[in-house]
Amino acid sequence: MKIISVDTMRRLESAAVASGISEYRLMRRAGTGAARFIETYCRSKFRRVVFFCGGGNNAGDALVCAGALQLPHVIVPCRDLHALKGAAAEAFKEFGGKLNIIPLEEFDFLPGDLIVDALLGIGFTGSEIRPSLAGALEKISASGKSILAFDLPSGLNGDSGIAAKGSLQAELTLTFGLPKAGLFLNDGPRMCGKIAVVPIGVEELPSSEALSYTFFAAPDAEKLLPRPALNAHKNSRGRVLLLCGSSDYPGAAVLASQGALHFAGLVRTLSVQCPNMPPLPAALITRLLAPAPGGALPREALKTNSDAAGASDLLCAGCGWGSHVSPELLKDVLDFPGPVILDADALNLLARNPQLWNGKSNAVMTPHPGEALRLAQSFKIDPAGSRPEFALKLAKYFNCIVVLKGFHTCVAAPDGSVTLNGSGGPELAMAGSGDVLAGIIAGIASGMEDLAAAVRLGVFLHGAAGDTGRGAVIADELPALAAQAAAYQRWW
């Protein structure tokens, strides 16, 4: 979805109103959508939701949300709610008499509180926070409670991403309609935490004033997620060949295989024989090969298993290869006719042997920042600029899709498109996470015609697995959690 300015968002809302959708209807969509999100993701963690409200439309969003919630909640007004205007006044008229409203000076935090910041939102454009609100923001910050911001954390400029002194730092920001540019610029990523999007029905209206890159959130995943035909069979749902692992890293083959198995119809894995190989999934078709010197996959692994390669739609290579793999094996990988996912040591091997690159346009590279920098140095690509800009430079140079991993993972394509992923966070920064991601992407891409779309979906579901695990997760659990996240998007 597009990333837009605050003024563009206001124009989209005005256009919706002009088309016959009332402003209060848009507010109802925002508030009830926020309530669904809170009920789904916060019910098991928090005992009470506390809405800190200002004097604008964010207060109206909060009133609607509170009215729709089943969780215990209270409203803490920092402005006179009777003075609300427009749609916010309608929300107060409908819900105000039914809600538990506690004046700021009488409010006390309780264990298990979730704070909803509904104070300033996109209405803040200055450089200083008014003294009348500064005290409330200080009280919230000092509480140490988890903060969920509506649209923007209070004090953050929605266009520049510059945070005023005393701004709130949220763990998660629910942005309404379309994400605002300030969430991704300057202080924005630090202040807004993770980002989720609540659609309100203006997303398809024309918006020419958007950033050059886009944001991929749950509504995008829902549109892309494949619905297999009812008469599908294992060969029609995508066939993946994994070329992964070594004596030093045998678990990489297992993790990548589990990731692929949850999304493909059939998965074959070529790995090495070693005494410390973890148990392999029973659904996996496995061939364990005698290791080459250093415990690596043999250089002829693909040639001697051409039947497996010929019966596969997509190849995933590099997970757990180690540093002893022969360049000849990478050459064979790059000659595979179908799409190829190049991960980890396949990218490091390519950086050491740049002459092997054959311009394969249906390749997907999945580097972390260190691997990306090694590629840039080897191929003399200038790494300067923002992360989206760097990812796009790599994609255009190699004429393939590049997944630059990290917070808001960038998926760049040679056509100039760059998407920032809206799921996941630091809980994914652990050993084996990248192997699972490569497998998930391989599984999804093996059954989709649009390779770039499949990659974006795979990256999102991998991040959603981390979100679902809530930080208490290891890489072994990510494949099942990613499948759970995908199932949540379907109604059957």
Given the DSSP bridges, would you call strands 146-150 and 172-176 parallel, antiparallel or unpaired? parallel
Taking CA atoms, 35 is separated from 65, 68, 198, 200, 438, in Å, by: 5, 6, 10, 13, 34
Tens-of-pLDDT digits for all 492 residues of the chain?
899 999 999 999 999 999 999 999 999 999 999 999 999 888 888 999 999 999 889 999 999 999 999 899 999 999 899 999 999 999 999 999 889 999 999 999 999 999 999 999 888 887 788 888 898 999 999 999 999 999 999 999 999 999 999 999 999 999 999 999 999 999 999 999 999 999 999 887 777 777 889 999 998 999 999 888 889 899 899 999 999 999 999 999 999 999 999 999 999 999 999 999 999 999 999 999 999 999 999 999 999 999 999 999 999 999 999 999 999 999 999 999 999 999 999 999 999 999 999 999 999 999 999 999 999 999 999 999 999 999 999 999 999 999 999 999 999 999 999 999 999 988 899 999 999 999 999 999 999 999 999 999 999 999 999 988 777 789 999 999 999 999 887 655
Cβ-proximal residues to 102 (8 Å cutoff; 6+ apart), any chain: 74, 75, 76
CATH superfamily of 239-489: Ribokinase (3.40.1190.20)
Residue 269 host element (H or E): strand 266-272
Per the structure block, which two tokens stand in for 329?
């094996």
Tell me if 2-208 shares its fold with 239-489.
no
Q: Where are the domains of the chain?
A: 2-208, 239-489
Rounded to 5 degrees, what angle do the CA atoms 293, 295, 299 make? Answer: 60
CB 3 within 8 A of CB 178: yes
Task: Using the structure block, give the residue that is written with the tokens 């140490």.
Answer: 144
Instruction: Give the integer Cα–Cα distance in Å for 94 and 319.
Output: 56
Residue 403 host element (H or E): strand 401-404
Residue 53 host element (H or E): strand 48-53
Quick one: CA dihedral 35, 39, 41, 46, positive or negative?
positive
| Chain centre to alpha carbon of residue 63 | 29
Instruction: Give the integer Cα–Cα distance in Å for 267 and 260.
Output: 7
Instruction: Give the integer Cα–Cα distance in Å for 272 and 270.
Output: 7
Q: Against a cut of 0.85, is the pTM above it?
A: yes
Say yes or no: domain 2-208 is CATH 3.40.50.720. Answer: no
- What DSSP character marks residue 101? B
Closest CA to 400 of 411, 408, 390: 411
User: Which strands form 410-412's sheet, in the order they lie side by side?
Assistant: 2-4, 210-216, 418-421, 410-412, 401-404, 363-366, 340-343, 314-317, 239-243, 266-272, 285-289
